[in-house]
Structure 1
Amino acid sequence: MLELRRLRLLHELSLRGTIAEVAGALGYSSSTVSQQLGQLEREAGTALLEPDGRRVRLTPAGVRLAGHAARMLELDEAARAELRDSGGEASRVRIAVMPTAAQSLVPPALDVLVTRGAPVRLEYREMPPEEALFELAARTFDLVVAEQYPGHTRELRAGVDRTALGADPIRLALPRDDPARRLADLADRAWILEPAGTAVRDWAVQQCRAAGFEPDVRYEATDLTAHIRLVASGHAVAMLPDLVWADEAASVRLVDLPGPPEREIFAATRSASRRSPAIAAVRAALADALRLRRPR
């Protein structure tokens, strides 16, 4: 009989690529992962791994078994969720959220869950969407709050469902004494944007090009607090989503972009847990938290 815990190691290896990555993600030593995969090979009666330089890779049989492992893990998750949700105890829901959601959506969502008496133990970790969506597929989290920008749809993954939570407007952020009234007025300003290669950076640059100029990106930061402070101090301009302000007053002057554009905030869950009442309760609370936000 194939042991499910060992099958998960094979599935993780198919996702992460190295034994060291699998060990780090699951809290094992590399030698333990190697030993367990060796035992799985003996149970399967065929080679599942083969040398690839200083690493290993899946054999064709290993690839096929990893595919079966993914489906078996989905069935195991669905069964466990059904039993857990019918047991009358608080169900743990692990979520990963992007920074703006951690600041602006999680606290009011927790308030909603308490008000509704939802039997949920919510645990969250702040994480960039690209990394969080990968970890969702690897079963590190039960739900991910992520975003996508107009014309920049995120990669669709098999076995992952998405539910739109709402829209978040994006506006120009200018120093309070900056006289600019539209995007085209900012061709000679210094810009702060997120790092090159991110979806939001690509989107922001395209907005500037559509307005007739290439942005002078002098500063890069993933932390939007740094964007706000640099703009407020008069050293740069930026494009910021409304969620960044939480319930605080904006410390900069906000100007509408042409459109005006909005980013879509969505919740991603694994298809195997689509019927979980606990996950559905968290998803609904997040949607309500976004819907009830005070408009800018």
Structure 2
Amino acid sequence: MDVRRLELLLALSRLGSMRAVAETLGVTTSTVSQQIAALAHEVGVPLLEPDGRRVRLTPAGRRLAGHAVDIVAAVEAARVDLDPSADPTGTVRVAAFHTAIQDTLLPVVHRLATAHPAVRLEIQEQEPPEALALLERGQVDLAVSYDYDLAPANLDPGLQVARLWQATWGLGVPSRSRRTSGTAAEVLAGFAESDWIVNSRHTGDEQVVRTIASLAGFEPRVTHRADSLPLVREMILAGLGVALLPTGNPKTPGISVRRLRDPEPMLRTYAVTRRGRGGWAPLSLVLGLLEEQRRAPDAVSWT
């Protein structure tokens, strides 16, 4: 089987339409159609079937796409293994959310500049949905992502995940707010009539809020959305609502972060790569530095 055709089939399974595959990979729609038709002839079974004006994978097509994950990863691993360059050299493209860039990647940049100047990072700020989409399309080599234990991410099996660190989150409210205590549901119940602020580019914290609120028997009134923690804090101070905030950050005058328990929301961060690419020397070096940073005695939980 032709690996390039398998890559197109895999892209179709992820992106859902031939036009999306063509736009993402920089080819024509007719090329995608012809190559998948050739693959179907090669394996001897139909891989596509009509779905209105579009097409979708047949059961056999979905099974082959599942195999393609491992095949494509193995081919990429072989290419990495045959790379004649022994010393790490090159540019690692990274997509990460703001705080990860600030607290995790910039220290790696400084270490690379000192000990491995031939390796550099090319960084762009993206929330996890955008970062993972860029990674799956091959537009970045590494995504630093996060999810919550109460709202776990459903990652593509073609991705390799390495746990970084985690941080507990609580409820950020104006300091003048009435004190509440008890379980997470009981604490949130004290703010059932409040407006809520959630992330504008990631749904994880909103899912956590709605999950705990459901335990307390109310539907949160989500009114405001922002993707910057400093902005969220400013909105809380302005009296616009309450929001989830990390418990380990320095205190903000005028804001109290109430601890939540049973359940206690936990944000989890990850380094995510495409399967088979982790052995590429520059990327392997960066992943190693991230792991060293995670294991350091003075490592700080953050987000």
- C-alpha contact 2:144 2:272 (8 A) present in aligned 1: yes
Deviation at 1:78, TM superposition (A): 0.4
Partner of 1:269: 273
Whether 1:77 aligns to 2:81 is no
Q: TM-score, normalised by structure 2?
A: 0.75
**Partner amino acid, structure 2, of 1:199:** G
Q: Map Cα deviations across residues 265-296 of structure 1 (whole Å, 9 max, x no partner).
A: 12233442344443333234345667645989
What is the number of residues matched between the two proteins?
Answer: 291
2:35 counterpart of 1:31 = no
Which position in structure 1 is the counterpart of 2:289? 285
Structure 2 runs not aligned, ≥5 long? 181-186
Question: Are the structure 2 counterparts of residues 251 and 6 from structure 1 closer, same or farther at C-alpha, using a change threshold of 3 Å?
Answer: farther
Partner letter of residue 202 of structure 1? Q
**1:79-100 superposed Cα distances (whole Å, 9 cap, x missing partner):** 2222347443514433332343
Structure-1 separation of matches of 2:216 and 2:46: 58
* Equivalent in the alignment of 1:230: 235
Instruction: Structure 1: state its 5+ residue gaps.
Output: none
* CA distance in structure 2 between the aligned counterparts of 1:161 and 1:20, rounded to whole angstroms: 27
Alignment correspondent of 2:183: none
More off after superposition, 100-109 vs 283-292? 283-292
CA distance in 2, matches of 1:112, 1:250: 31
CA contact (8 A) 1:267 1:283 kept: yes
Alpha-carbon distance in 2 for matches of 1:281, 1:89:
7
Q: How does 1:15-164 map to 2 (within 5 A)?
A: 15-41=14-40, 47-59=46-58, 62-84=61-83, 86-88=85-87, 90-117=89-116, 119-133=118-132, 136-137=135-136, 139-155=138-154, 157-164=156-163
CA distance in 2, matches of 1:148, 1:47: 37
Secondary structure of residue in 1 paired with 2:168: strand
**TM-score normalised over the length of structure 1:** 0.77
Shift of 1:149: 1.8
**Is the contact made by 1:113 and 1:285 (CA closer than 8 Å) also made in structure 2?**
no
Amino-acid identity (%): 35
Compared CA separation, residues 47 and 261, structure 1 to 2 (3 A): closer
**Could you list the per-position Cα deviations for residues 93-125 of structure 1 after superposition, in whole angstroms to 9, with x for gaps in the alignment?**
333323432344332232233233274332334
Give the drift of 1:38: 4.2
Q: How far, CA to CA, are the matches of 1:264 and 1:75 in structure 2? A: 28
2:194 is matched with which residue?
189
What's the C-alpha RMSD, in Å, of the aligned pairs? 3.7
Q: CA deviation at 1:65?
A: 4.1
